[in-house]
Amino acid sequence: MNDSSPILRVNNITKSFGDNTILNGVSFDLVKGEIKVLIGPSGGGKSTLLQCINCLVVPDSGDIELENEQIDFSSKQDLYSLRQRVGMIFQDFNLFDHLTALGNITIALRKVKKISKKDAEQRARVELEQVGLGDKEDLYPAQLSGGQKQRVAIARALAMDPKILMLDEPTSALDPELIGEVIAVIKALAHKGMTMVMATHQISLISGLADEILFMEQGNIVEQGPPSLLLTSGNSSKTQGFCDRLNELSEVEA
């Protein structure tokens, strides 16, 4: 595949719950290796958009194309295959409480990809090593810190060899002193060229990693552009105003 053709195409997605319109015709393309960051006030539809992309929430209308194949929302096989190729990281980790760090990673490899137990464990160890948790494979989620849980969750998603990784506020549920270790892992992924869509309020991720910022408000993308354009000082963009407020907040905390 040629690198400039998008790996993911999101076209005019809408989603309502009852009378409440959450997404109001959202479109964007994602090229291989690109990192797009979603920001904006809560309730703006960032989380719902991410969940629509892997159809955890099935859109009311619109198209999703992954690797030039359009997804048929009514076909379970299409949905399962879509989700195997799109990794997802959640705000509150969502590790499986009854499985060790290693078991959390191997379960989908074994049950979904039908890889043998031995090969799955080998792969899982490689991924745990990558996120710096090689010595924690036998610990259960309740024995791990928040930052460690999130790193296991990242290893779990990466073991499936996703084409795209989606991160839904990956550091928002963490204590301030644990955010750094997760950011370091995400930055390392970015340097390896992982394609990502990330909702975050973490200024260092927004300005440091984003190829493009999508500012979402009331179910629409109201501004988009590279950080160099939206975040130059003196710019009157909503994005700039929002990030200024985030900055002020983080200064107050620090």
Q: Which residues bind other proteins (CB under 8 A)?
A: 54, 56, 76, 80-81, 83-84, 86-88, 90, 92-98, 107-108, 111-112, 139-143, 153, 156-157, 160
Task: Indicate the residue among 113 and 187 with the shorter CB distance to other proteins.
Answer: 113
Residue 246 beta carbon to other proteins: minimum distance, rounded to whole angstroms: 25
Cα 30 to Cα 11, 33, 60, 171: the distances in Å are: 11, 8, 21, 23
In the complex with other proteins, the residue whose CB is nearer, 63 or 92, is 92
Identify the CA nearest to 31 among candidates 72, 65, 3. 3
| Residue 106 C-beta-side C-alpha neighbours within 13 Å | 19
Tell me the C-alpha distance between 8 and 5, whole Å.
9
253, with CB counted inside 10 A (0-12, 13-18, 19+), is exposed
CB nearer to other proteins: give 71 or 213.
71
Smallest distance from the beta carbon of 24 to other proteins, in angstroms?
24
Minimum CB separation from other proteins for residue 7, in Å? 18
Closer of 31 and 139 to other proteins (Cβ): 139
Name the minimum Å distance from CB 97 to other proteins: 6
Shortest spacing between CB 66 and other proteins, in angstroms: 13
* Cβ distance to other proteins smaller for residue 89 or 186: 89
- Containing 36, the helix (H) or strand (E) segment is strand 35-39
Question: For other proteins, which is the closer residue by CB, 141 or 227?
Answer: 141
CB of 107 to other proteins, least distance (A): 6
**DSSP label at 3?**
T
